[in-house]
Amino acid sequence: MNYKNLQVEITEGIGLVTIYRPEALNALNTNFFYEMDHFLSEVSLNKSIQVLIITGSGKAFVAGADIAEMVDKTPAEGTKFSRLGQNTFRSLEKLQIPVIGAINGFALGGGLELAMACDFRIASSKAKFGQPEVNLGMIPGYAGTQRLPRLVGLADALYLLMTAEMIGAEEALRIGLVQKVVEPEELMNEVLKIAKLIQTKGPDAIKKVKYVARTGMLMDFDKANELEAEYFGTQFKAEGEEGMRAFLEKRKPNW
């Protein structure tokens, strides 16, 4: 499929998708969600892709949802548009492989919601973050009210959601919204370095640790521990045996 809003590169097991709507600071519209849904379906079937990176073109990661498209929607159409975005970002979140957000610039509104659906985020020192929906008399519609408290805690989340304050990369790092801040010219080098590091680990273990951690966050603690024990056990006659033997024999594992 030829994408209008996405630029896709796949190199040595690492997928890079760049949001590309430069005329609108990469603002999210219906076509973006349809294209991203299609792309994610392809990624889920492509066993050669081990890590996925998402970034934006130009000075924005994603500056928000496309207000020009939203302004005339009815309440029913607004609900449908919200569910479209929620479903796309949930599909992103549920990919088996790690997803890294490379936050190159403005990540506002729907852009921050997209970033939060990634497994973790590396930010340029020039990146800006915020949920400005209340400035428009709106609320987030792509699970921002749900993911933000889970990432940074309820009080910090409500502060950002209620004030619509735009914060810089260092403040985002302080509250746990991003995991590392680097200079703009080093962003992609750093993200690729992390992606390549992940590629050296047990690929099945990477998928399982993501699944158990994300699933366990939505479960009772004791049941989540049961899930961990079950998946821990499955690795003993799988990758784990090779990994542990390689450690004892002082060699690199043969995944």
User: Please, are residues 15 and 8 in contact by the beta-carbon 8 Å criterion?
Assistant: yes
Amino acid at 111: G
Can you tell me whether residue 112 is helix, strand or coil?
Answer: helix
Owner of token pair 């690929």: 203
Indicate if 133 belongs to the active site: yes
> Which one from 35, 42, 93, 133 is the annotated catalytic residue?
133
All residues at 6 or more sequence positions from 42 whose CB lies less than 8 Å from its CB, including other chains: 1
User: Please, are residues 84 and 65 in contact by the beta-carbon 8 Å criterion?
Assistant: no
**Distance between CA atoms of 24 and 62, rounded to whole angstroms?**
9
Tell me whether strands 14-19 and 51-56 are parallel, antiparallel or unpaired.
parallel
User: Please, are residues 131 and 139 in contact by the beta-carbon 8 Å criterion?
Assistant: no
Furthest C-alpha separation in the chain: 66
Whether the CA torsion 21, 25, 31, 32 is positive or negative: it is positive
Owner of token pair 């502060």: 159
**Distance between CA atoms of 92 and 115, rounded to whole angstroms?**
10
> Which one from 35, 113, 190, 239 is the annotated catalytic residue?
113
Annotated active-site positions, please? 113, 133
